[in-house]
Amino acid sequence: MHHAEAEGGDDDNTLANNSRAMTRSTRSLRSSHASVHGQGSAVSEQVPVRQHETAGSRKRNRFESEDELTGPAKHPRTRTYSATEVENWETVFIGIASRLDPEAVRTLLDDSKSQIKRQRSRIAQLRALIQQERDVHQGFEENQKERYAALEKDFRAHKNKMASILTANVEAFGPKISDDTIVGEWKQLCYKKEVFERDFGEIIKQAANLHLAMMRSKAIFVVQWAGNDSGEDDCRYDPETMIPLQDEVNATSSSHAVDINESPGVWKIGNADGENFDSVMVLCKSVVVVKEQKTTVVLE
């Protein structure tokens, strides 16, 4: 506390000395400015001669000096100065003050130097902190790059391994699925052996009966495919001799054309006694796949 009070007292003394030095410098500067404009005699007449100053006069002069310094602050003028004029004014003022009171100017310069030194020290600390943060960030980036490179390397290795596994599985998928399908079908047939034998026997029995009936009959039996003998593809669908394979097609409609022959039909010409060969009977209709009938527009 005593040290702080001592420092406060030194600051007050320094301010007082600086104030007195500024007062003397201001008066000298005003007198020099007046002499430049031809007003030197008027200024010299206004400055009193202080040969015998008393305590009261010194106190009054002190107040006047402070009023002269604080006058511009209390009563600001509307005149503005450019940056060049301000710099020239500061240069002239410092030059005059250094000639009148070098000690005060030296004190001000020392204070300015100490402030500049503190600012430089602070700037150096900030630069060190910035460099430290930059180094940490750079190290983090390098670490991340190394991690990404390692992950990419591992990913490539796993990718190649997975590609080889998939290729091997795809190549073995075809034969394996075929073998599995065949084995599965045989297992189903073996499991349903009695059903399979019964169904297959019925097919053979019907075929044998049909063959015996055709051989004993004197009629002519013809296997007829849908379409005409010219091989054209525009054969119309005939509901009397054909059955459409598509469920959505009307079986009695003749507005379609034959697209694909699925199975042929069987026609009977004549009768069992070998007579009446002008008559034709459709024993089994052809199974076909139909399509939309092409329409032909005739221009007259």
- pLDDT at res. 17: 57
| pLDDT higher than threshold 80 for residue 236 | yes
Q: Average model confidence (pLDDT) for the chain? A: 71
Residue 280 tokens read as 């034709």
Confidence of residue 1 (pLDDT cuts 50, 70, 90): very low
Rounded to an integer, the average pLDDT of 10-25 is 55
> Is the pLDDT score of 60 beyond 80?
no
Domain ranges of the chain: 219-292
Is residue 254 over pLDDT 70? no
Q: Please say whether the beta carbons of 254 and 295 come within 8 A.
A: no
How far is Cα 276 from Cα 158, in angstroms, rounded to an integer?
82
Q: Which of 242, 235, 226 is nearest to 284 (CA)?
A: 242
Q: How far apart are the first and last CA of the chain?
A: 126
pLDDT value of position 154: 83
Q: Which two tokens stand for residue 67?
A: 């009023």
8 A C-beta contact, residue 283 and residue 266 = yes
> What does DSSP assign to residue 294?
P
| pLDDT tens profile 149-201 | 888 888 888 888 888 887 777 776 666 666 777 777 777 777 677 787 888 89
What's the average model confidence in pLDDT over 198-221? Answer: 89
Residue 45's pLDDT band, with cuts at 50, 70 and 90, is very low
Q: How many helices (H) and strands (E) does the chain have?
A: 6, 6
List, for residues 75-96, the tens digit of each pLDDT value: 445 444 455 554 566 677 677 7
Parallel, antiparallel or unpaired: strands 286-292 and 242-244:
parallel
pTM above 0.75, yes or no: no
